[in-house]
Amino acid sequence: MSIFKKLFTAARGGATEVGEAIIDSQAIRILEQELRDSKKALNDAKTGLTSIMAEKMGVDRKVKELTAKITEHEAYAIQAMDKGDESLALDVANKIAEFEHELAIQQGILDGYQTKVSSLKKMIRQSERNIQAMDREVSVVKTTAKVQQANDLASAKFSGSNSSMRSATDSLERIKARQQKREDQASAAVDLESETSGDDLQARLKNAGIVDSESSGSSILDRLKKQKAQS
Amino acid sequence: MSNETLEQWMKDLAENKLSDGTHLSIEMFDGENTVACIKVEDREEFPIYMTIDEGQILCISYLFGDDQVNPDKRAAMAEAMLIMNVSIPLSAFSKIGDQYIMFGALSPKASIDELLHEIELLSDNVLEAIEAVSDYLTEAA
């Protein structure tokens, strides 16, 4: 089963047991056990890799030795031929053939090790990634379990007297109403501010004699008379 | 280790406000000091729970329970939520047990400004989301 699927199972765990622990703690424990097992398997794989690499080094050394011996004996064979000792040269050449045969075998083993090492390394990297991902996911599942407990506590505090307190749409309405009230208050405050500053301006204009300080019936009549005389 | 980190974040949050000047009230929620509860001023109905581990900072807010979903519209709501998920900035829908949630996650290396932004958006998104799916919910009893 994939990690995601297991986590999914863990997370939905007891969802059917109404009011009971929703996150299945048993499933989390199993996951954690699997995680520990994977970590152990990873360690074993790393140990395995170390011993295979040691063996590979041994074979590697043999291959180098054989290659060196072949070069060495090739020189001997040439020297024997130079001296006209054809049968000695043939013996050396036979020896070289033995070495080459052995080299081919050892090279084959070396190649086999090489493949094994690189596939083991790949596997180890892969399981390290898996373990990291699993670690993260398990911690998220555990975290959400804690958050859930916290929320259960909170809603238990809320509910008690009034169960409609818990309705999401009601809550939203209440928040919107509060926001509206706040905005109304703010705009009322702005209106009030401008009114008062308006009053203030009028008073200052009157004081400065720019606006009639007393707008009375007689002053208006005077003004109208002046207008009529001008026309 | 993780507890100290959470306490430090809580301290930093308490010293800050959201971009519009809204206050946050923050308290440690559980005895184990693993879950912080953040309440945005005037939106106390939808507290945000914050936890921290090596991998991430997780902010979760509960929307509503299964019992508030109109049973006939449950599948349609789930699909609507899936479709909406991508277009909601920084937050996503999910479900814990029988509760629908909205959550956002941050790197533990995030800055306090990024966390504040996250909380602000999550809080806005929760209200938007409930409004958006209110047609699928049962009439408030």
Helix (H) or strand (E) holding A186, with range, is: helix A168-207
Is the domain of A200 the same as that of A146? no
The residue among A166, A191, A220 that closes a domain is A166
Domain interval for residue B65: 2-136
Residue with more model confidence, A121 or A162 = A121
- Asked whether residue B59 carries a pLDDT value surpassing 90, the answer given is yes
| B58 inside domain | yes
**From B100, which residue of chain A is nearest by alpha-carbon distance?**
A168
Is the domain of A156 the same as that of A182? no
Is the domain of A158 the same as that of A180? no
- Give pLDDT, residue A131: 85
Is A150 in contact with B29 (Cβ distance < 8 A)?
A: yes
d(CA B68, CA A94) in angstroms, rounded, equals 91
Q: In the predicted model, what is the mean pLDDT of residues A25-51?
A: 83
Strands laid side by side in the B36-40 sheet: B24-28, B36-40, B48-52, B57-65, B99-106, B92-96
- Give pLDDT, residue B140: 52
d(CA B108, CA B59) in angstroms, rounded, equals 12
Is the domain of A156 the same as that of A183? no
The residue among A114, A133, A166 that closes a domain is A166
- Asked whether residue A231 carries a pLDDT value surpassing 50, the answer given is yes
* B16-47 pLDDT per residue, tens: 888 888 889 898 876 677 888 899 988 988 99
Is the domain of A161 the same as that of A186? no
Is the domain of A11 the same as that of A119? yes
**Residue in A22, A146, A174 nearest the CB of B45:** A174
A164 pLDDT band, cuts 50/70/90, is very low
3-state secondary structure B82-97: HHHHCCCCCCEEEEEC
- Give pLDDT, residue A7: 61
Nearest CA-CA partner of B46 in A166, A229, A123: A166
d(CA A155, CA A166) in angstroms, rounded, equals 7
Residue with more model confidence, A140 or B94 = B94
User: How close B1 gets to chain A, by Cα (Å)?
Assistant: 14
- Give pLDDT, residue A95: 94
User: How close A34 gets to chain B, by Cα (Å)?
Assistant: 20
Is the domain of A111 the same as that of A188? no
**From B44, which residue of chain A is nearest by alpha-carbon distance?**
A175
CB neighbourhood size of A135 (10 A): 17
- Which pair of tokens denotes residue A208? 């400065």
| B141 inside domain | no
User: How close A12 gets to chain B, by Cα (Å)?
Assistant: 6
- Give pLDDT, residue B141: 43
- Asked whether residue B132 carries a pLDDT value surpassing 60, the answer given is yes
Domain interval for residue A202: 174-230
Predicted ipTM beyond 0.90: no
A interface with B, Cβ–Cβ < 8 A, is 11, 15, 18, 22-23, 135-136, 139-140, 143-144, 146-151, 153-155, 163-164, 166-172, 174-176, 178-179, 182
Is A175 in contact with B43 (Cβ distance < 8 A)?
A: yes
- Give pLDDT, residue A64: 96
Is A148 in contact with B97 (Cβ distance < 8 A)?
A: yes
- Give pLDDT, residue A29: 79
Is B42 in contact with A148 (Cβ distance < 8 A)?
A: no
- Give pLDDT, residue A157: 63
CATH number of A94's domain = 1.10.287
Task: Return the DSSP state at A161.
Answer: T
Q: What is the CA radius of gyration of chain B?
A: 16
A102 pLDDT band, cuts 50/70/90, is very high
Q: What is the CA radius of gyration of chain A?
A: 47
- Asked whether residue A158 carries a pLDDT value surpassing 70, the answer given is no
The residue among A166, A187, A202 that closes a domain is A166
Is B98 in contact with A18 (Cβ distance < 8 A)?
A: yes
Which of A18, A165, A172 to mutate against chain B (most B CBs within 10 Å)? A172
* A48-90 pLDDT per residue, tens: 899 999 999 999 999 999 999 999 999 999 999 999 999 999 9
Three-state secondary structure call for residue B77: helix
d(CA B83, CA B63) in angstroms, rounded, equals 17
Query: Exposed, middle or buried by CB within 10 Å (0-12, 13-18, 19+), for B95?
Result: middle
- Give pLDDT, residue A195: 73
Residue with more model confidence, A214 or B28 = B28
- Give pLDDT, residue A18: 43
**Residue in A140, A150, A182 nearest the CB of B49:** A150
Nearest CA-CA partner of A19 in A164, A138, A149: A149
The long-range contacts involving B76-80, CB below 8 angstroms and separated by at least 24 positions, are B76/B136, B77/B133, B77/B136, B80/B132, B80/B133, B80/B136
Is the domain of A40 the same as that of A56? yes
- Asked whether residue A154 carries a pLDDT value surpassing 80, the answer given is no
Average pLDDT for chain B: 88
A17 pLDDT band, cuts 50/70/90, is very low
- The answer to whether A158 touches A165, Cβ cutoff 8 Å, is yes
Q: In the predicted model, what is the mean pLDDT of residues A41-54?
A: 89
Is the domain of A53 the same as that of A101? yes
Is A151 in contact with B99 (Cβ distance < 8 A)?
A: yes
CATH number of B117's domain = 3.30.1460.10
**Residue in A11, A147, A164 nearest the CB of B35:** A147
Task: Kindly tell me the sign of the dihedral angle through the C-alpha atoms of A130, A133, A137, A142.
Answer: positive
| B33 inside domain | yes
Is B55 in contact with A163 (Cβ distance < 8 A)?
A: no
- Asked whether residue B96 carries a pLDDT value surpassing 60, the answer given is yes
Structural domains of chain A, count? 2
- Give pLDDT, residue A215: 62
Is the domain of A26 the same as that of A115? yes
A165 pLDDT band, cuts 50/70/90, is very low
Nearest CA-CA partner of B119 in B2, B7, B20: B20
- The answer to whether B57 touches B110, Cβ cutoff 8 Å, is yes
The strand ranges marked E within chain A are none
Residue with more model confidence, A136 or A164 = A136
**Block residue for tokens 């998220």:** A140
| Residue ranges of B 118-137 with Cβ closer than 8 A to chain A | 127, 130-131, 134, 137
* B102-115 pLDDT per residue, tens: 999 999 999 999 99
- Which pair of tokens denotes residue B103? 């959550």
Structural domains of chain B, count? 1
Chain A contact for B140 (CB, 8 A cutoff): yes
User: How close B91 gets to chain A, by Cα (Å)?
Assistant: 16
- Asked whether residue A14 carries a pLDDT value surpassing 50, the answer given is no
Three-state secondary structure call for residue A183: helix
